[in-house]
């Protein structure tokens, strides 16, 4: 099959859940023999790079601002794909799906797939104007996609209740990567097992300010490491660094990927995700796969991901978060038990090698149904003309 991906910022090594999702899925599909193409953006990718692990890269420009970066790039990608012999066009997230109706109308023999990653209009970084268009993108996705993939059972219930649409539940996945060296973490003055890790885009709904406030009130030798960068959120990043103040045990590494990120996971004492809202967090799944004990806010999406494999605190409650941090540090036996459960759950439920096969099956069924409808219409039209 010829498969085109629309909605991601770039490949490879671009931070973000959608980018991680596309990277893992596209590479596996290419290795299994499919022709896979991914649209990338000038401001996130090397324009000269035309291929990545068998995936063909199509680099296009955009207007690189918070409100127009995604939609302008998606528009150019949609126009370009109109002239391609695609079997599958796969849209990622609700923002790009605002334009999903164009290929649906003009590429009548191509199956249109969409992954509904999250209700990102709930994120605080967006103003009312952007939130309205994101909500419209959600509607376009649910109305026009031939098949919808959701990474959580919560979103499956939501789409059925609000749009009466049946969806395919396939969770996000993780790589089975076991990089255990510690040479790269030394650049931040880190020692194995002596820091708590958070991996996140630095945007307000991820709740990193709750984590910093909770940590600032603690007496501990464990450092706090925050791996991630802003996303048109410079004011929020500045606020976080002001909260950290002159505490040299709070370390911002910036955005990390590849081996450096793997080593941060592999050598951490524990992982914290204090987010106010999520889809199904790949950073959280990755932490589980490395056998890290988990502390998460008690939003439904986090509870679905960790099950009984982590410690919960009431969303936005700094005192409860601090209490769970102390508990994790003091109770090493419980820490080891939680780590073992988390790792097993991640490997059993969120293995990309298994999930990519499930998504390929969705593609095959969608292409079959599309062709079947086309052939049926052709026969009916032929009989009518006779």
Give the pLDDT confidence of 255-304 residue by residue, as tens digits: 998 888 989 999 999 999 999 988 788 899 999 999 999 999 999 889 98
Q: Please, which pLDDT band fits residue 128 given cuts at 50, 70 and 90?
A: confident
Q: Cα separation of 159 and 151, whole Å?
A: 12
Q: Cα separation of 354 and 104, whole Å?
A: 29
What per-residue confidence (pLDDT) applies to 274?
Answer: 96
Q: Please, which pLDDT band fits residue 381 given cuts at 50, 70 and 90?
A: very low
CB count in 10 Å sphere of residue 62: 20
CB count in 10 Å sphere of residue 179: 17
Give the pLDDT confidence of 58-73 residue by residue, as tens digits: 999 999 888 899 999 9
Q: Please, which pLDDT band fits residue 383 given cuts at 50, 70 and 90?
A: very low
Higher pLDDT, 354 or 375: 354
Domains annotated on the chain, with CATH: 2-173+353-385 (3.40.50.2000), 185-349 (3.40.50.2000)
Among candidate residues 149, 131, 137, 128, the one with its CA nearest the CA of residue 78: 137
Q: Cα separation of 262 and 225, whole Å?
A: 14
Q: Cα separation of 273 and 287, whole Å?
A: 10
**pTM strictly above 0.85:** no
Q: Are 36 and 56 in contact (CB under 8 A)?
A: yes
Distances in Å between the alpha carbon of 131 and those of 47, 94, 128, 187, 226?
A: 31, 11, 5, 40, 28
């Amino acid at each position: 099959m010829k498969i085109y991906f629309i909605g991601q910022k770039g490949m490879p090594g671009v931070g973000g859940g959608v980018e991680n999702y596309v990277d893992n899925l596209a590479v596996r599909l290419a290795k299994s023999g499919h022709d896979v193409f991914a649209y990338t953006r000038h401001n996130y990718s090397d324009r000269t790079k035309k291929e990545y692990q068998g995936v063909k890269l199509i680099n296009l420009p955009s207007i690189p601002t918070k409100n127009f970066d995604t939609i302008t790039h998606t528009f150019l990608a949609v126009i370009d794909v109109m002239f391609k012999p695609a079997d599958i066009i796969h849209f990622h997230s609700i923002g790009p799906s605002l334009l999903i109706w164009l290929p649906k109308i003009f590429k009548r023999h191509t199956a249109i797939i969409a992954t509904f990653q999250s209700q990102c209009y709930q994120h605080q970084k967006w103003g009312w104007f952007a939130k309205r268009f994101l909500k419209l993108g959600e509607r376009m996705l649910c109305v026009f996609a031939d098949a919808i993939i959701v990474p959580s059972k919560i979103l499956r219930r939501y789409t059925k209740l609000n749009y009466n649409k049946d969806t395919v539940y396939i969770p996000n996945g993780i790589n089975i990567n076991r990089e255990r060296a510690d040479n790269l973490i030394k650049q931040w003055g880190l020692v194995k097992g002596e820091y708590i890790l958070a991996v996140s885009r630095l945007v307000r709904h991820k709740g990193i300010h709750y984590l910093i406030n909770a940590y600032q009130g603690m007496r501990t030798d464990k450092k706090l490491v925050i791996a991630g960068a802003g996303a048109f959120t410079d004011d929020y990043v500045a606020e976080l660094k002001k909260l950290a103040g002159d505490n040299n045990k709070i370390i911002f590494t910036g955005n990390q990927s590849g081996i450096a990120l793997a080593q941060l996971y592999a050598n951490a004492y524990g992982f914290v995700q204090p987010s106010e809202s999520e889809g199904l967090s790949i950073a959280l799944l990755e932490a589980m796969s490395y056998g890290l004990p988990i502390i998460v806010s008690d939003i439904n999406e986090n509870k679905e991901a960790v099950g009984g494999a982590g410690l919960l605190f009431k969303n936005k409650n700094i005192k409860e978060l601090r209490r769970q941090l102390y508990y994790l540090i003091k109770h090493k036996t419980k820490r080891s038990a939680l780590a073992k459960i988390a790792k097993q759950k991640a490997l059993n439920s969120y293995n990309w090698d298994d999930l990519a096969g499930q998504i390929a099956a969705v593609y095959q069924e969608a292409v079959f149904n599309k062709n079947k409808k086309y052939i049926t219409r052709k026969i009916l039209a032929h009989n009518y003309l006779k």
